[in-house]
Structure formats: structure tokens, C-alpha cells
Amino acid sequence: MKTVLITGATGDVGTHLSRELAGKYKLRLSDRRPMKAPKGQTFVKADISKMSDALRITKGVDAIVHLGGYSVEGPWEAIHKANIIGCYNVFEAARRNGVKRILFPTSNHAVGFYRRDQKIDHRVYIKPDSRYGVSKVFGEALGSLYADKYGMQCFMMRIGNVGPRPIDKRRLSIWFSPRDLAQLTSIGIDHPDIKFEIVYGISGNKRAWYDNSNAYRLGYKPQDDSEVYAAEVLAAEKPSTDPIAEAHQGGVFCSAEEVPNPAAPKKKGKRK
């Protein structure tokens, strides 16, 4: 059984993924925030912006799923520390520790300034919609470098939106169910011929903006389609007041300077 490290394990995507992959791999979970590891899994607290921590958590694993980082648009200082320094540290620590395979869940926001009336594939020129998107492009470029220069096997997944169901019109196009996430991740871990690949992390959505044939070529067969939720989602959708967000695949990331961070500590207030 392969030992797989998941960084950023306390986040939404990491939580879904560790649940779906339980029993298939020996999972080592890591994050800055503490958590109680599920039965059969281990947890190691670490800050990947510190090389010493990155070296410690990547030692002795067969593959890394690098989810750790700042997950939305926000202050450059936070994005730089987590998504630039932290990402480099994980790749470099993996190289030093002899870990050959890295899965980097990049983002739809690396190409978010393509319009919604365009269908794109994995070969399009990058068009990030935010500082966050730029940091994901950096991770893709780092993967390309480490594949070519050091012979590492790098699997880049441009993730849409992971969740039990799509929550708005935009996410009908980019929804990624937890079980499809697990299937594509397993391909990234186990496929024997990975060198450097970019695929889209979405389910088999009828409304998809992405030609995901590169993922299908590697054996991906999504089980879910957001269309089963479409009528309900569209009936609840409110008219957009942001024409830039509405026109582009990246949505509000194309116009906002900051998006609420789901990982931010909740402020304690007085009870009313």
C-alpha cells in the first residue's frame, strides 16, 4: 500500500479527499491547523512555509497531494508565503527526499479570464484572474521544471469547485464531486506513464467550459454530472450585478480584490 501525503488536509477539499481515499492508501495528513486523524490515518502538524517542516513531512512517502496553501484571492503577503514559498518548499523537499510523484491541485483560476462562451483545453495560454490564480500558475510552472530537470512525475489538476453538489450557476460548469475527485487523484498517484500532465478537475458536467480529453486519455471516467441539480440551482439564482464576473470563467475572482477566506479563524463575538 502506497504512503500518500496530503497537505492542507483540514480544508474542505482535503477533508473530502481523505475520506474518499481511506483504505486505498496509507494516508499521512498534514496542515498548520491541528486535527484528529481518522482511524487508519496519521496527522503531522506542519507549516510548509518553513523548509524544515516540508522536509519532515515529505520523508518516506510515495506520493504527495499538495493541497496546502491560501485558497482564495487575498493579500499578496499571505498568498506569497503559502502559495509561492510553501509550494516551492514542498517540491524541493520532495526532490531532496527522493519522492518522485507530486499531484498539484492547481485551479480553474489559473485560466479564469477566459470568457464563459469559450471552451478551452489544457493547452491554452494561461490567463489568471487574480493573485491567487498567479500563484497557481507558479505551481504549474514549478511542476514543469521539476519534471524536466529532475525527472519527477507531476500531475496538475485545475480544480473547479469540490462539494457534495453545485451551489450556483457558475459551479454547474466547474463542479467536481468528491468521488470524481478521488478517482482523478488515484489516476495521478497510480498511472505508470505520468511525466507532466495538466488536466481539469471537474465532473462530467454537460455545461463544462473545459475540454477534458487529456484526463479521459489517462482513463478518467467521471461518474457525476451537475445537470441533475441544474433546475434547482437556476431557480434559486439571483441576477448578477457584476458584468465582469458574469462574463468570465473565474467569476468574482476577476473583479474582487479579496474573497472571504474559508480557512480564516472565526471571530468571537458577544452573544445576542
DSSP for 165-227 reads: S--SHHHHHHEE-HHHHHHHHHHHHH-TT-SEEEEEE----TT-SB--HHHHHTT------GG
User: Annotated catalytic, 132?
Assistant: yes
d(CA 72, CA 252): 11
Q: For the domain that residue 50 is a member of, what is the CATH number?
A: 3.40.50.720
Q: What pLDDT does 270 receive?
A: 38
Q: Does 205 reside within a domain?
A: yes
Q: What pLDDT does 261 receive?
A: 86
Q: Does 75 reside within a domain?
A: yes
Catalytic residue among 132, 200, 210, 220: 132
Q: What pLDDT does 181 receive?
A: 98
d(CA 16, CA 29): 12
Q: Does 267 reside within a domain?
A: no
Q: Does 199 reside within a domain?
A: yes
Q: What pLDDT does 103 receive?
A: 98
**77 CB contacts (<8 Å, ≥6 apart)?**
none
Q: Does 119 reside within a domain?
A: yes
Residue-number span of the structural domain to which 57 is assigned: 3-254
Q: Does 260 reside within a domain?
A: no
Digitized pLDDT (tens) for each residue of the chain, 272 residues in all:
999 999 999 999 999 999 999 999 999 999 999 999 999 999 999 999 999 999 999 999 999 999 999 999 999 999 999 999 999 999 999 999 999 999 999 999 999 999 999 999 999 999 999 999 999 999 999 999 999 999 999 999 999 999 999 999 999 999 999 999 999 999 999 999 999 999 999 999 999 999 999 999 999 999 999 999 999 999 999 999 999 999 999 999 999 999 988 877 665 543 33
Q: What pLDDT does 198 receive?
A: 98
Q: What pLDDT does 271 receive?
A: 35
Q: For the chain, how long is the longest CA-to-CA vector?
A: 59
The count of domains in the chain is: 1
Q: What pLDDT does 13 receive?
A: 97
d(CA 77, CA 73): 11
Q: Does 262 reside within a domain?
A: no
Nearest CA among 65, 56, 54, 55 for reference residue 27:
65
Nearest CA among 68, 94, 91, 85 for reference residue 6:
68
Q: What pLDDT does 263 receive?
A: 77
For 206, list phi and psi in degrees, rounded to 5: -60, -35
d(CA 191, CA 101): 10
Q: What pLDDT does 53 receive?
A: 98
Q: What pLDDT does 109 receive?
A: 98
Q: How far is CA 247 from CA 62, 115, 136, 255, in A?
A: 42, 6, 21, 11
Q: What pLDDT does 264 receive?
A: 75
DSSP characters over 91-158: HHHHHHTT--EEEE--BGGGGTTSBTT--B-TTSPP---SHHHHHHHHHHHHHHHHHHHH--EEEEEE
Q: Does 268 reside within a domain?
A: no
Q: How far is CA 30 from CA 141, 143, 248, in A?
A: 24, 21, 34
d(CA 128, CA 136): 8
Cα torsion angle, 113, 103, 200, 205, sign: negative
Q: What pLDDT does 262 receive?
A: 81
- Angle made by CA atoms 124, 129, 145, in degrees to the nearest 5: 55
Q: What pLDDT does 162 receive?
A: 98
